Every structure is written in C-alpha cells, then in structure tokens.
Amino acid sequence: MEIKLVVLDWAGTTIDYGCLAPTGAFVESFAAKGVNVTLAEARGPMGLHKKDHIRAMLRTEIVGDKWRAAVGRDWAESDVEELYRSVTPLQVAAAEKYRALIADVPAVASELRAKGLKVAASTGYFHEAAAVVLAAAKHQGFEPDFNICADDVPAGRPAPWMIFRCMESLNVYPPAAVVKVGDTVIDIEDGRNAGCWSVGVIDSSNEMGLSEAELKALTAAELEARRRDIIARYQKAGAHAVIHAIADLPALIGAINTRLSRGERP
C-alpha cells in the first residue's frame, strides 16, 4: 500500500499565509453587536464551518460573558443566524483580499502528481468564499483534482464527510492511503476521524496566526518557542506528523510510504 491521495485545507495551508482572512470578519461582525472579541478568540474554533465557528465562539466562557455584558442576555440560535448573515459578505471580501497562494504549492502539487498521487482540497468556508479561493488558486497555478466545502456535506469538520467525499469522487480507498494536511486542530481531528494520516503544517497556519513578513521578523528563539507550542497542540489532537511548510510534504509522503511498507496504519 502507498499514499494515493492528499487532501489539503485552503486558508493557512495552501492560500492566505497565516489564515488572516477569516479572523477579521468574525471580529467585525461581533463588534457590530457591541461585543469586542480578540483575534485570538476569533481564531480558536478555526476550521469549522463558519456558522459552527460562531456558535463555538459564543459557547466559550470568555466570549459568552462578553456577549451577556454587551447585549444583556444569553445568546440564542437566532443570534448565530444574524451573525452568520453579517459575517458572510465580510468573509467573501476578506478572501478576495488575502488571495495569495502560499509559495511552493503549485510545485508540491506537480511533484505529488508526478508520483501518481491525486490532490484534493477541502475547507470550512461556505460556497461563496470557497469559490473565491478556488478561482484565485487557479489563476496562480494550482487547481485541485476535487474541491469541496462545508456547505456540501451534512456536517463540517471535525466530521470526516468532506474527506470521504474526496475519496469517493477520486476513487481512492482505503483511508490508510490518504493524507489530510491542515493548519488547525480541527483539521487534525477530521483527519483522525476519517481514519487517514493526519498532518499539521506550522509556519503558515492559523495556529501561528502571522503573515509571512511577521513570521520572518521573529527571532530564532521566538520562532522555535511558537513552533514547539503548535506541535504540542497538534500532537495532543492526534497528529501523525507535523511539517514546518507545505514544501516539506513530498518528503513526508515518502516517509509515510515507508511506514506503510512496514505494516503501520494510521
């Protein structure tokens, strides 16, 4: 058995270095209700469908307390719907703004395909934002063999349905022949739930939360400390492997194939 399929996340993994597009939209939507959430609080549930993301934010003690202080009552499902309607156009605009493909993605995809692998993409974005990133990626030289978003399945991450749909559409099985690559803890969880190899990328990730310029401005000690913290979070979620950048993926695929040849399974 060898790896036949790689499923890549979009923002923070293949496009939008630092996963900057989604966070600002959440902050702005909450601010319109008088609730001042931080970027860190907005990043917490990243990887979920955006409506689930809003719900997860409100369920945290910190944001729930801020909501009650600003609005004067507990949040309700109608508030989730209102915030989602507000965040949707903001996220589409942000996806347009942060549309730069992460360096090496087209080269990595070409290298994997040259070795006979298929490359799919999945995202917690809704249809409108997913269409923006797909079009932007095509324009910059990367087009997945299959693309899916959270609106296309009964439940988004951490449910494994998007990965299973990728496998079905590209006729790849079993799950041990699939690698899921993402930049959030939720990505690691949906890979594990699908029974495939689950890999976390560090430097461009939502977990790092920095633009490429901001990352390069860190001291070596600061960067190493941040990387250690992210690795620990990925490993706690059950990651089978962690890479610094997407450029490290082909070598990792080779290492996983070696593990498969020894009889190891995810």
CATH number at residue 219: 3.40.50.1000
Alpha-carbon dihedral angle through residues 149, 9, 46, 43, given to the nearest 10 degrees: -130
Active-site residue, selected from the candidate residues 4, 16, 33, 50: 50
Q: Are residues 164 and 204 in the same domain?
A: yes
Nearest to 35 by CA among 5, 77, 8, 71: 71
Active-site residue, selected from the candidate residues 9, 16, 183, 190: 9
97 is catalytic: no
Q: Are residues 74 and 137 in the same domain?
A: no
**pLDDT for 21-39, tens place per residue?**
888 889 999 999 999 999 8
Q: Are residues 107 and 80 in the same domain?
A: no
The average pLDDT across 218-226 equals 97
**pLDDT for 224-258, tens place per residue?**
999 999 999 999 999 999 999 999 999 999 999 99
Q: Which domain holds residue 60?
A: 21-97
216 is catalytic: no
Give the end of a domain, one of 97, 132, 158.
Answer: 97
Q: Are residues 75 and 148 in the same domain?
A: no
Distance between CA atoms of 51 and 49, rounded to whole angstroms? 6
Rounded CA Rg of the chain: 18
Q: Are residues 90 and 111 in the same domain?
A: no
Is residue 18 within 8 Å of residue 210, measured between CB atoms?
yes
Q: Report DSSP state, residue 142.
A: -
**pLDDT for 108-152, tens place per residue?**
999 999 999 999 999 999 999 999 999 999 999 999 999 999 999
Give the end of a domain, one of 97, 124, 150.
Answer: 97
Nearest to 184 by CA among 210, 158, 166, 164: 158
Tokens of 153: 């399945």
* Residue 266, domain member (yes or no): no
CB atoms within 10 A of CB 19: 26
Q: Of all residues in the chain, what percent carry a pLDDT higher than 70?
A: 100
Q: Is the pLDDT of residue 49 over 90?
A: no
Amino acid letter, 51: K
Give the end of a domain, one of 44, 63, 97.
Answer: 97
Q: Which runs of consecutive H residues, i.e. helices, occur in the chain? A: 21-31, 39-43, 50-59, 61-71, 77-97, 105-114, 127-139, 161-169, 185-194, 212-216, 220-237, 249-261
Distance between CA atoms of 35 and 175, rounded to whole angstroms? 42
